[in-house]
């Protein structure tokens, strides 16, 4: 478990961990440095807690004996009628609470309510010393209004863009941490009978400032979640983006890494927090998710990143669950989502757009043939997300390469022509391909080097030289040809930085992108040749031709050159992250 520093106040939260009230605690001025812990049973609270906040009178009643026995100061936040309750429930639970308090007379328990009106409502039911919650830190005026109706799960609203244009958007209102939400929109309670919602909205909206003071610049901090995907794509792309940010400003990047190839990140000098998936642990998924949510939320509270990023299509809900936990509301979410998905991919995953502040689609040179859902469909629930398609992202662009001599020396290669075979991770049926490559390489006097993936088994043939080469691009000057799968990173690395013959061998795994279309597109442009494993009859001739090109030292000059504008990317990220900077907002209020 991540540790907090000794100077922070530790606050136990009793109640629904996604209760907007619990989320808004982070915006109380005196709680700026507090760290919040969900407290399922107050009887478990050790003396390390500085305060316990109970989010409703019902939660207090549920744990009443433990709260009475506690020696920690306790604040019970009284709540009025909300949807899902019978109308007199809030009064009954308040009266029960008072009856219990009157019986025990505990000196360490204080009551408060959200608004002045709420305080009066409670006092009217039964008189007691109830204080009003302090105002939250001010937020800037915004144009967008976000209506909330808790009897419906979704909300439709008009997002007012910076140019004043209005765009209809939908979202689940429970998708947001209210600390974030109150900075993105003016909130409006649709159902006036939902008094608790009205109180929450009043509390969230009441402190607005019209100050247009520009954000103070501060180093950027990104917590990058790397899933345990197929191949090295996620890691490579996130490293490329991390380097792009670091190249343009002071940026700290920490990886929350599920990938078995975490060693690559470590070797590159990044701080990593190595995690295990439920499958790795053989754990019951709901248990694992609950634990991962708490750990990730604690990491966010202690590391205080400006943004959390995630590269991949399928995002585990623990990420969103954690971002909705108390203390995690000032962190933006960047979703890095490449295109070129297979046309038959289920588009449901796109509904996660509502959770994102920025969706970065790394450009694909083969975008013309992209028939996947990210190109042909639009998410129904997009929330406040902005979408940005960049030029292609490649780690190779950001790294210096060896010279031909250095590369050969690093790979311990002698004279002659060398061709690298890099077929990526654990997927693909390459037995036939491997046999034909060996045959034609031998016929043309080309030596084959097997680029060993940390995620894959070594080749079957003992005739091949095996090398661990990451990132591959650094070694390319010493190589005369490349046979590779057609994943996003390999494809763009080679097309953007390499001018020797390339043979693409696309994989057709259901969890992967549409590599066949990408490879076919490259072949049609004359950038590379392609061998399909499901067309063995053509393979022999294609490989023979390719090996002849390698042997002859052929160069390809028409490959494209455009790549990510790093400066622009940095600015966009900084702009998104600064929306939630606490210091900026407090400064604006001054």
Cβ–Cβ < 8 Å for 528, 505: no
Q: Write the CB contacts of 121 (distance below 8 Å, at least 6 apart in sequence).
A: 80, 113, 195
How far apart CA 159 and CA 345 sit, in angstroms, is: 29
Of residues 284 and 567, the one with the C-beta less far from another protein: 284
How far apart CA 434 and CA 545 sit, in angstroms, is: 16
**How far, rounded to the nearest angstrom, does the alpha carbon of residue 546 sit from its chain's CA centroid?**
40
- DSSP string of 157-209, one letter each residue: EEEE-TTS-EEEEEEEGGGS-HHHHHHH-EEEES-TT-HHHHHHHHHHHS-EE
Tokens 């043309």 belong to 444
How far apart CA 548 and CA 534 sit, in angstroms, is: 23
Residues 532-550: b if buried by 16+ CB within 10 A, e if exposed: bbeeeeebeebbeebbebb
Q: Write the CB contacts of 532 (distance below 8 Å, at least 6 apart in sequence).
A: 505, 506, 516, 538, 539
Q: State yes or no: residue 97 binds another protein (CB under 8 A).
A: yes
Listed ranges 92-100, 109-117, 175-183, 329-337: which one lies at the site for another protein (CB under 8 A): 92-100
Of residues 86 and 214, the one with the C-beta less far from another protein: 86
Cβ–Cβ < 8 Å for 224, 254: yes
Of residues 297 and 391, the one with the C-beta less far from another protein: 297
How far apart CA 519 and CA 534 sit, in angstroms, is: 14
Cβ–Cβ < 8 Å for 310, 225: yes
How far apart CA 460 and CA 434 sit, in angstroms, is: 9
Q: Minimum distance from CB of 543 to another protein (Å)? A: 46
| Ramachandran bin of 95, using left for φ above 0, alpha for ψ from -120 to 50, beta for the remaining angles | alpha
How far apart CA 562 and CA 456 sit, in angstroms, is: 31
Pick the binder of another protein from 32, 48, 65, 135 (CB under 8 A): 65
Nearest CA-CA partner of 398 in 233, 255, 243, 267: 243
Q: How many CB atoms lie within 10 A of CB 146?
A: 24
Q: State yes or no: residue 107 binds another protein (CB under 8 A).
A: no
How many chain residues touch another protein (CB under 8 A)? Answer: 40
Q: Minimum distance from CB of 461 to another protein (Å)? A: 46
Pick the binder of another protein from 11, 25, 49, 58 (CB under 8 A): 58
Cβ–Cβ < 8 Å for 189, 197: yes
Q: State yes or no: residue 190 binds another protein (CB under 8 A).
A: no
Q: State yes or no: residue 12 binds another protein (CB under 8 A).
A: no
Q: State yes or no: residue 278 binds another protein (CB under 8 A).
A: no
Tokens 């494993």 belong to 533
**CA dihedral sign of residues 470, 476, 480, 483:** positive
Q: State yes or no: residue 469 binds another protein (CB under 8 A).
A: no
Of residues 67 and 393, the one with the C-beta less far from another protein: 67
Q: Minimum distance from CB of 230 to another protein (Å)? A: 24
Pick the binder of another protein from 4, 28, 85, 401 (CB under 8 A): 85
Listed ranges 55-63, 227-235, 553-561, 574-582: which one lies at the site for another protein (CB under 8 A): 55-63
Pick the binder of another protein from 33, 48, 84, 538 (CB under 8 A): 84
Q: Minimum distance from CB of 197 to another protein (Å)? A: 14
Pick the binder of another protein from 31, 63, 237, 474 (CB under 8 A): 63
Of residues 19 and 480, the one with the C-beta less far from another protein: 19
Cβ–Cβ < 8 Å for 240, 393: yes
Sites for another protein among residues 165-184 (CB under 8 A): 174
**How far, rounded to the nearest angstrom, does the alpha carbon of residue 319 sit from its chain's CA centroid?**
7
Q: Minimum distance from CB of 88 to another protein (Å)? A: 7
Q: Minimum distance from CB of 191 to another protein (Å)? A: 13
Sites for another protein among residues 279-308 (CB under 8 A): 284, 286-287
Pick the binder of another protein from 8, 16, 161, 562 (CB under 8 A): 16
Nearest CA-CA partner of 257 in 249, 246, 242, 245: 242
Mark residues 321-360: x for contact with another protein by CB under 8 A, - for none.
x---------------------------------------
Q: State yes or no: residue 317 binds another protein (CB under 8 A).
A: yes
Listed ranges 37-45, 207-215, 257-265, 267-275: which one lies at the site for another protein (CB under 8 A): 37-45
Q: State yes or no: residue 15 binds another protein (CB under 8 A).
A: yes
Of residues 64 and 521, the one with the C-beta less far from another protein: 64
Q: State yes or no: residue 18 binds another protein (CB under 8 A).
A: yes
Q: Write the CB contacts of 57 (distance below 8 Å, at least 6 apart in sequence).
A: 76, 78, 79, 90, 93, 94, 96, 97
Q: State yes or no: residue 100 binds another protein (CB under 8 A).
A: yes
How far apart CA 447 and CA 439 sit, in angstroms, is: 11
Q: State yes or no: residue 99 binds another protein (CB under 8 A).
A: yes
Three-class DSSP category at 225: strand
Q: Minimum distance from CB of 10 to another protein (Å)? A: 18
Listed ranges 21-29, 35-43, 175-183, 308-316: which one lies at the site for another protein (CB under 8 A): 35-43
Q: Minimum distance from CB of 173 to another protein (Å)? A: 13
Listed ranges 99-107, 162-170, 389-397, 578-586: which one lies at the site for another protein (CB under 8 A): 99-107
Residue ranges of alpha helices (H) inside 343-419 are 373-376, 395-398, 404-411
Listed ranges 86-94, 263-271, 331-339, 527-535: which one lies at the site for another protein (CB under 8 A): 86-94
Of residues 7 and 86, the one with the C-beta less far from another protein: 86
Of residues 269 and 286, the one with the C-beta less far from another protein: 286
Sites for another protein among residues 214-233 (CB under 8 A): none
Q: State yes or no: residue 150 binds another protein (CB under 8 A).
A: no
Q: Minimum distance from CB of 408 to another protein (Å)? A: 54
Whether omega for the bond prior to residue 471 falls within 30 degrees of 0, making it cis, is: yes
CA max distance for the chain: 95
Pick the binder of another protein from 43, 123, 247, 348 (CB under 8 A): 43
Binding site for another protein (CB under 8 A): 14-16, 18, 40-41, 43-44, 56, 58-59, 61-66, 68, 84-89, 92-93, 95-100, 103-104, 174, 284, 286-287, 317, 321
């Amino acid at each position: 478990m991540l540790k907090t520093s000794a100077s922070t106040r530790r606050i136990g939260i009793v109640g629904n961990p996604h209760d907007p009230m619990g989320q808004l605690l982070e915006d109380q001025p005196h709680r700026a440095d507090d760290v919040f812990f969900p407290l399922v049973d107050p009887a478990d609270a050790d003396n390390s807690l500085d305060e316990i906040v109970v989010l409703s009178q019902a939660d207090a009643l549920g744990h009443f004996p433990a709260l009475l026995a506690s020696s920690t100061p306790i604040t019970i936040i009284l709540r009025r009628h909300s949807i899902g309750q019978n109308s007199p429930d809030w009064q009954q639970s308040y009266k029960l609470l008072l009856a219990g308090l009157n019986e025990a007379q505990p000196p360490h328990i204080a009551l408060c309510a959200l608004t002045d009106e709420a305080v009066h409502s409670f006092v009217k039911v039964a008189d007691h010393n109830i204080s009003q919650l302090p105002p939250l830190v001010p937020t800037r005026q915004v144009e967008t209004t976000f209506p909330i109706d808790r009897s419906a799960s979704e909300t439709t609203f008009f997002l007012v863009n910076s140019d004043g244009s209005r765009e209809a958007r939908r979202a689940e209102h429970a998708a947001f941490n209210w600390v974030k939400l109150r900075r993105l929109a003016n909130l409006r309670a649709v159902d006036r009978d939902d008094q608790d919602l009205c109180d929450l909205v009043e509390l969230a909206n009441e402190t607005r400032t019209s100050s247009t003071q520009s954000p103070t610049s501060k180093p950027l901090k990104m917590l990058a979640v790397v899933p345990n995907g197929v191949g090295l794509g996620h890691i490579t792309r996130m490293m490329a983006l991390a380097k792009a940010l670091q190249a343009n400003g002071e940026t700290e990047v920490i990886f929350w890494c599920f990938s078995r190839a975490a060693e690559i990140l470590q070797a590159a000098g990044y701080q990593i927090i190595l995690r295990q998936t439920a499958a790795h642990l053989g754990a019951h998924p709901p248990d694992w998710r609950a634990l991962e949510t708490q750990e990730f939320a604690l990491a966010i509270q202690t590391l205080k990143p400006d943004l959390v990023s995630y590269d991949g299509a399928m995002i585990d809900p623990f990420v969103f669950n954690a971002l909705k936990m108390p203390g995690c509301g000032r962190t933006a979410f960047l979703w890095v989502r490449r295109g070129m998905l297979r046309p038959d991919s289920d588009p449901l995953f796109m509904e996660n757009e509502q959770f994102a502040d920025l969706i970065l689609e790394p450009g694909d040179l083969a975008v013309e043939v992209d028939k996947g859902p990210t190109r042909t469909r639009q998410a129904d629930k997009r929330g406040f997300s902005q979408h940005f398609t960049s030029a292609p992202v490649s780690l190779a662009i950001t790294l210096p390469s060896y010279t031909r001599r250095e590369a050969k020396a690093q790979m311990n290669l002698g004279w002659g022509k060398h061709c690298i075979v890099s077929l990526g991770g654990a997927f693909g049926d390459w037995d036939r391909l491997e046999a034909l490559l060996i045959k034609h390489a031998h016929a043309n006097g080309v030596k084959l080097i097997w680029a060993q993936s940390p995620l894959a088994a070594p080749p079957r043939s003992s005739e091949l030289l095996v090398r661990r080469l990451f990132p591959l691009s650094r070694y390319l000057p010493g190589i005369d040809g490349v046979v590779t799968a057609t994943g996003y990173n390999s494809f763009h690395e080679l097309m953007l930085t390499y001018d020797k013959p390339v043979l693409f061998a696309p994989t057709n795994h259901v969890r992967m992108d549409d590599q066949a279309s990408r490879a076919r597109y490259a072949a049609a442009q004359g950038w590379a040749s392609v061998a399909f494993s499901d067309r063995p009859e053509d393979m022999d001739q294609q490989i023979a031709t390719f090996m002849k090109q390698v042997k002859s030292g052929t160069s390809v000059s028409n490959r494209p050159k455009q790549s990510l504008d790093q400066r622009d990317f940095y600015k966009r990220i900084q702009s998104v992250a600064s929306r939630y900077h606490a210091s900026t907002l407090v400064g604006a209020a001054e």
